[in-house]
Amino acid sequence: MESGSLTPPPARPGLPRPGLSWLRDLALSVLIALVVILFLYQPVKVEGTSMMPALVDQERIFINKFAYRFGISDVQRGDTVVFYFPGDITKSYIKRVIGIPGDTVEIRRGTVMVNSHEVTEPYVPEQYRDRLSLDRMTIPQGEYFVMGDHRSASNDSRSWGTVPRGYIYGRAVFVYWPLDRLGSVN
């Protein structure tokens, strides 16, 4: 070998070239993002005013899909859930769970009663209440009774009945947009 020759040193086995390393890292990042979006958290845009003031129209939130999908957590009274609308499963709705399987639900002039006890609902301001009534009903096994927080502007279980457990696919957990509303969903 002549002095001054610019022959590159031989590649060491086992070390990827910079281009392949970058591509591998990108592919791994995309794979992790897909797993998170498909199984853990999914971004969702709120459409409509039925959950005001907790959630407002066009707000962006993350829903937790993991807890309900793998049985880590049961759907509880008070959870804000995202589900396929029973009347048209191509649409998704977001509402608050009021009654769980086996509960009796009744509404007396806007006052919600679950198992013969009045439900305290600090998430429903007076200006969003209505004075409608609903006869007592028992929630069937595997079904949930849901209502929007903006009672006078919500299309919910009072109109179309209960939601099958299999239709509920996530719980609203975090608002990420707009920034002035950043925080946990109550």
Q: Check 3, 5, 50, 133 and give the catalytic one.
A: 50
How many other C-beta atoms can be found within 10 angstroms of the C-beta atom of residue 121?
Answer: 17
Q: Catalytic annotation on 91? A: no
Radius of gyration for the chain, computed over Cα atoms and rounded to the nearest angstrom:
25
DSSP 110: T
> Which residues does 3 contact at the CB level (< 8 Å), separation at least 6?
none
| CA distance from start to end of the chain | 74
Q: Catalytic annotation on 50? A: yes
60-64 and 41-45 as β-strands: parallel, antiparallel, unpaired? antiparallel
Q: Check 65, 95, 154, 157 and give the catalytic one.
A: 95
Instruction: Give the catalytic positions in this structure.
Output: 50, 95
